[in-house]
Chains A and B, each alone.
Chain A
Amino acid sequence: DADVTQTPRNRITKTGKRIMLECSQTKGHDRMYWYRQDPGLGLRLIYYSFDVKDINKGEISDGYSVSRQAQAKFSLSLESAIPNQTALYFCAAETGSNTGELFFGEGSRLTVL
């Protein structure tokens, strides 16, 4: 298990506020991801990072930014939160060696009022 930890687990905020979701993993995996889950829409990729110096946009990056502070840490920021960013956010780390398995954190539920 990649032991992926997300904080906070739940957050309620107001429109226009800046929010940071943090993710850390203990297994030293290079690849980390941020996904957003909405009912009926599955898991959509926001940003991903293959190493500390590599940051890439996913399919729904608008309104989000990320920071890879270290190999183990990958943070997602909403600079000015809006209500349609209300969702469940998952961070994931990948085992590498082309095994392909993603280990997900427990999720961060964000509500923007």
Chain B
Amino acid sequence: GENVEQHPSTLSVQEGDSAVIKCTYSDSASNYFPWYKQELGKRPQLIIDIRSNVGEKKDQRIAVTLNKTAKHFSLHITETQPEDSAVYFCAVRNYGGSQGNLIFGKGTKLSVKP
């Protein structure tokens, strides 16, 4: 089955700096790669996603890049702000697979210090 590795598990940056979180996956047939943000005490919410026919996608200060050959994708947050502090989860999905479920990474706790 699919295996998703997420690094780092914790990340601390100064406000204004950039943050990068990386995930690797094992199933080359996976074709959907979302990122979820979970603020303290809240539910996970989708912040950005990318599909296998796209190499990069941006939404204001966040971007996701995908390297299908190497089977990894990354979340980039620029000009970090204290409200970016949260746990971020990557996930992987194969829509053509027998189940097509989202498999989540173990999460990265991002702390942005003012």
Give the interface of A toward B (CB within 8 A).
33, 35, 40-45, 48, 56, 58-59, 90, 98, 100-102, 104-107
26 inter-chain pairs at a CB distance below 8 angstroms, sorted by A residue, are A40-B9, A40-B106, A41-B106, A42-B6, A42-B104, A42-B106, A42-B107, A43-B44, A43-B89, A43-B104, A44-B104, A45-B101, A45-B102, A45-B103, A48-B101, A90-B43, A90-B44, A98-B95, A100-B32, A100-B34, A100-B102, A101-B46, A102-B44, A102-B46, A104-B45, A106-B42
Residue of A nearest to B108 (CB): A42
For chain B, give the interface size range: 20 to 34
- Give a binary string over B1-35; 1 marks a CB under 8 Å from any A CB, 0 the rest: 10000100100000000000000000000001010
Cα(A45)–Cα(B99), bound, Å:
12
CA distance A61 to B35 in the complex (A): 24
Q: A107 CA to B99 CA in the complex, in Å? A: 24
With A42-B89, A90-B43 as contacts: A102 and B106 at CB distance below 8 Å? no
Q: How far is the CA of A104 from the CA of B43 in the complex (A)?
A: 6
Q: How far is the CB of B102 from chain A (nearest CB, A)?
A: 7
